[in-house]
Amino acid sequence: MKSLSKKHRVITIHTLVGAIIGIVLLHPLTKIVYWFEFKHDMGAKDENLWHFLMGRMESAFVVEMVPMSLAFAIIGGECRSSFCFLPPGA
């Protein structure tokens, strides 16, 4: 029973790390792709990528963005927790 508890702890840690990675890396990468694709449609011809990201990051932690952050946390957590089920040495 002790090994099952350890396995649950490992899965939980991997899921939490993946959720953080999803919010910190996947969400900004998606914003970068969005900026490259739609910057001319947004009227941001003179705006560079850094200003766009900093402006979006300031608004990333408002209540309206919780569903989007939660979605990226779930995606990252699921991707990371799937590594727990790989055989050792794979």
Q: What is the pLDDT of residue 4?
A: 66
Q: What is the pLDDT of residue 50?
A: 81
Q: What is the pLDDT of residue 74?
A: 94
* In the predicted structure, residue 68 carries a pLDDT above the cut 60: yes
**Per the domain annotation, does 21 fall within a domain?**
yes
pTM listed for this prediction: 0.73
**Per the domain annotation, does 87 fall within a domain?**
no
**Per the domain annotation, does 55 fall within a domain?**
yes
**Per the domain annotation, does 68 fall within a domain?**
yes
Q: What is the pLDDT of residue 82?
A: 84
Structural domain boundaries enclosing 59: 2-80
**Per the domain annotation, does 88 fall within a domain?**
no
**Per the domain annotation, does 50 fall within a domain?**
yes
What's the domain count of the chain?
Answer: 1
**Per the domain annotation, does 85 fall within a domain?**
no
What is the 3 state secondary structure string of 9-62? HHHHHHHHHHHHHHHHHHHHHHHHHHHHHHCCCCCCCCCCHHHHHHHHHHCCCC
In tens, the pLDDT along 1-58 reads 456 688 888 889 989 999 999 988 888 888 888 888 887 776 666 677 787 777 777 7
